[in-house]
Structure 1
Amino acid sequence: MPHFALPPHTRARCIVLPAAPFSLSLAGRGVTGHADAAEVRLLVAHATMVEEVLPDLSPAGVRAARDTLVELATAVAHRGFDDVNTRLAPALTQAAKNLAEQRLTEADLSSAMLARELNVSVRTLQRAFAAGGESVTAYIRERRLESARQALSASRLIVSEIAAHWQFADSSHFSRAFKQRYGLTPTEYARQNS
């Protein structure tokens, strides 16, 4: 096990994988990556996802998860990855969702921004979401609506403030989307849940 030191007030996540799949490409050297690198984000997102579902995976699922971890670890080692590889779609989707969750209130949150941050093309990101039966835009909209719904229950903000905070074009656009999703206008919902 390699030893390393961290500066004070920093965090590290150490992922230890068997050496056999990497012996030719790494030649025994350890690999580190910056947390903001796209390939590291994907590796961490996939490792976290595997950790959560591992007890429920079949032997074939465990092999698929392992193969994807190997692909992602190889990408970290080579400071880039083949974004056409379909085995990376779940990890790419999860990394994009994690990033979107952190930036739901930002005006520039979009497929293009997420793709840029993850160092993939917009089309690659869209294909990754489509593999799971979703779209990037629908995911962002759904998460913003859900966050706005929670804010309506928990705060005294008015509808226009909530609409602006969660980046809806205006309060009427927000009201239409909210009613379509929850069957009530934001005002009706707030009244029922206050």
Structure 2
Amino acid sequence: MLKNMEVRTGDAAGVAGPFDRADWERFLAAETGLPWLLRFSSPPSLDADHAVVRRSWADDIAVLDWESGPFSAVRGARQIAGTDDDYLILSVMGAGSAVFGQNGHDWQLGQGDIFLWESRSPAQMVAREPVATRSFVVRRRVQEDMGCQLRMDGPARGPLPEVQLLRSYVDALSTSLPRLSDAAAVAARNALLELGWGALQSASPRDPLAVLSARRAAVERYVESHLGSRDLSPEEVAAAHSISVRTLTRLFSAAGDTFTGVLRAKRIARVREELRVGDATVVSLAQRWGFVDSSHLNRRFRAVYGVSPQEYRRRAARTRATPPVEQPTDTTDR
């Protein structure tokens, strides 16, 4: 039985009690989206009689602060099934020590250590002394779209400057979040992902080209979903990914491409698909896929395929109408 449980969500705060283990588990599942099966020390000690959880937000990343006495916790099949999405969780040990286990690894964690875990795999954590952690809960697709794909290769520890920078940023972020504007919260979220990725790479360096490739893939997914916007520009795409136009240009030039060339090629490919299977006019296709007008589309299409869109459609129709030539079957006895 917990004599007191302090709950803080956003700007709200309260202290309630007594709370038993089931109450605490229900609260954690509802407030954090990450159910755990919990056990607190028995018999209860003074340190174990008080637990605190606080939640705030950095745009779409949940920031969770946990303080409690000794405990053990397990996420099994039931808790995983009760989790509503696929998350990666970046956690920082603020005080105390614990053992965390997932995917066949058991990590001994101490103050200042940074570790990563995932919501779709069983996990367990045991703390034999009072602990405090701060965790950042990120949907996996969010960090993939950012091009900062976090990896679970073990904790980041020690006096490495990357780790120290992330810890300092995390401390500053926790006090600044309530006062940030919406735009600043988005920037803070992006910086958190970047610094988290950098800190975890300190123990397992990766090829920088892999990061460029992931970022370009994220940019291209964005472009694909906005192809119909006539005003789609490098400035808009760069802002959507919190990078500079210069960085955006570098993502494409590294492979010998240009942003404008790739955008145009994707639009012409969509037009080609519709010419083969649909009956929309060239004028409507130009409007649908972001060309200035039908003349602009005609010029660009002819430069790629050597014929006008109308001629391409006629040829495609003739190809579909021509039955395949049957090959004679050799029935000669052998």
Aligned residue among 293, 313, 321 for 1:190: 313
Aligned residue among 130, 137, 148 for 1:32: 137
Alignment of 1:77-116 (within 5 A): 79-81=192-194, 86-87=208-209, 88-116=211-239
TM-score when scaled to structure 2? 0.41
Structure 2 match to 1:41: 145
Counterpart-to-counterpart distance in 1, 2:291 and 2:190? 40
TM-score when scaled to structure 1? 0.67
- 1:165 paired with 2:270, answer no
Kept after mapping to 2: 8 A contact 1:92/1:125:
no
Closer/same/farther in 2, CA of residues 133 and 169 from structure 1, 3 Å limit: same
Q: How far does residue 143 in structure 1 lie from its aligned partner after superposition? A: 0.3
Counterpart-to-counterpart distance in 1, 2:260 and 2:190? 32
Alignment of 1:55-134 (within 5 A): 79-81=192-194, 86-87=208-209, 88-134=211-257
Closer/same/farther in 2, CA of residues 66 and 121 from structure 1, 3 Å limit: farther
Kept after mapping to 1: 8 A contact 2:230/2:292:
no
Residue type of the alignment partner of 1:104? L
Closer/same/farther in 2, CA of residues 94 and 186 from structure 1, 3 Å limit: same
Residue type of the alignment partner of 2:137? T
Aligned residue among 264, 267, 272 for 1:141: 264
Closer/same/farther in 2, CA of residues 137 and 189 from structure 1, 3 Å limit: same
Kept after mapping to 1: 8 A contact 2:227/2:267:
yes
Kept after mapping to 1: 8 A contact 2:86/2:139:
no
Structure 2 match to 1:51: none
Q: How far does residue 163 in structure 1 lie from its aligned partner after superposition? A: 0.9
Greater per-residue strand proportion: 2
Residue type of the alignment partner of 2:113? L
Structure 1 match to 2:40: none
Q: How far does residue 42 in structure 1 lie from its aligned partner after superposition? A: 2.7
Residue range with higher mean Cα deviation, 157-166 or 23-32: 23-32
Counterpart-to-counterpart distance in 2, 1:113 and 1:42? 16
**Secondary structure, counterpart of 1:119 in structure 2:** coil
Residue type of the alignment partner of 2:271? A
Residue type of the alignment partner of 1:139? V
Structure with greater Cα Rg? 2
Higher relative contact order (CA 8 A, sep 6+): 1
Q: Percent identity?
A: 26
Kept after mapping to 2: 8 A contact 1:163/1:174:
yes
Counterpart-to-counterpart distance in 1, 2:304 and 2:272? 10
CA deviations over 1:91-125 (Å, ceiling 9, x no partner): 11010011111111122322212111111111111
Structure 1 match to 2:99: none
**Secondary structure, counterpart of 1:32 in structure 2:** strand
Greater per-residue helix proportion: 1
List runs of 5+ in structure 2 lacking aligned partners: 1-73, 90-101, 117-132, 157-161, 167-187, 196-206, 318-334
Residue type of the alignment partner of 1:127? R
Kept after mapping to 1: 8 A contact 2:230/2:291:
no
Residue type of the alignment partner of 1:32? V
Residue type of the alignment partner of 2:263? I
Closer/same/farther in 2, CA of residues 114 and 6 from structure 1, 3 Å limit: farther
Structure 1 match to 2:274: 151
List runs of 5+ in structure 1 lacking aligned partners: 48-64
Structure 1 match to 2:304: 181
Q: How far does residue 40 in structure 1 lie from its aligned partner after superposition? A: 4.5
- Residue correspondences, number: 165
Closer/same/farther in 2, CA of residues 19 and 111 from structure 1, 3 Å limit: farther
**Secondary structure, counterpart of 1:148 in structure 2:** helix
Question: Over the residues paired in the alignment, what is the CA RMSD in angstroms?
Answer: 4.0
